[in-house]
Structure 1
Amino acid sequence: MSLNIVLVEPEIPHNTGSIARTCALTNTNLHLVKPLGFCVDDKYLKRAGLDYWHLVNINYYNSLEEVVLKHPDNDFYFATTKTENSYTDFKYRDESFFVFGKETKGLSKEILEKYWETTIKIPMVDIKRSLNLSNSANIILFEALRQLNFSSLK
């Protein structure tokens, strides 16, 4: 079993580092869509991921479409605060992809419109702000893992 997290143009290195650490500990693949807002040898990125980097399967892409085209048989879910679909409304499958946008803007309007049927959100108080990217990724990932009975995890 292996789930997938996609970060589209992430900006903050310690968020990506924290997500990488979660990926390492859950056997989740990490997909990074360029441009990145940091260098992959950034000290804050490395520090947040601690010594888990060798355990993470990281893939780099030039566009989200490249990710989708490379994995045409997989389910993709797009995290946003702009939908009514709760992340708990869907039944996730092995190999599902969870797509997150950049910290300051989220996913583009064009991406959300194209994939509107599989947009998901984490319910929260409406104050025009949202949870930290790494927290959001963890919440959604662990719901998918729960639905899959935490297969291959102790």
Structure 2
Amino acid sequence: MNRLGIDIGRVIIDGASGSGDTSFFSGGTAAMLRTPAVPGAFDAIARLVPLFGTAWLVSKCGPRVQQRSLAWLRHHGFFERTGIAEGNVRFCLRRPEKAIHCAELGITHFVDDKPDVIAAITPVVPHRYLFNNWPTTETAIRQDLAHT
């Protein structure tokens, strides 16, 4: 059974927007909640989730950003809009630990924006996607699913 894993920061929550990134990490709650989603993230994920047995979010961050991430996801209706279960979120404190979560969860396809994460999960995740944008990533995932 195929299982999808997705990073949160700069893959779902847009950290590339300069002030949005700063607001997310250091601003007040209202500013943090205004941080935009990565363009196309919710729609692409909603189209991909039904193609997998299960989908998970796996993110590296400390306790404060973990709470902010969950608050942002809830505020924006992420779980309802994408079909990922709210309980399917794992956090770790170091990027290489994502490989442990992927192995435990049986993740077969993983999307992340960090090359070091892609390298760390290579032994346990057969299909890895270095994120640039959702149209390209969704196409690559669909192509891999068609060949498995």
State the TM-score, normalized to the length of structure 1. 0.48
Compare the two structures and name the one with the higher helix fraction. Answer: 2
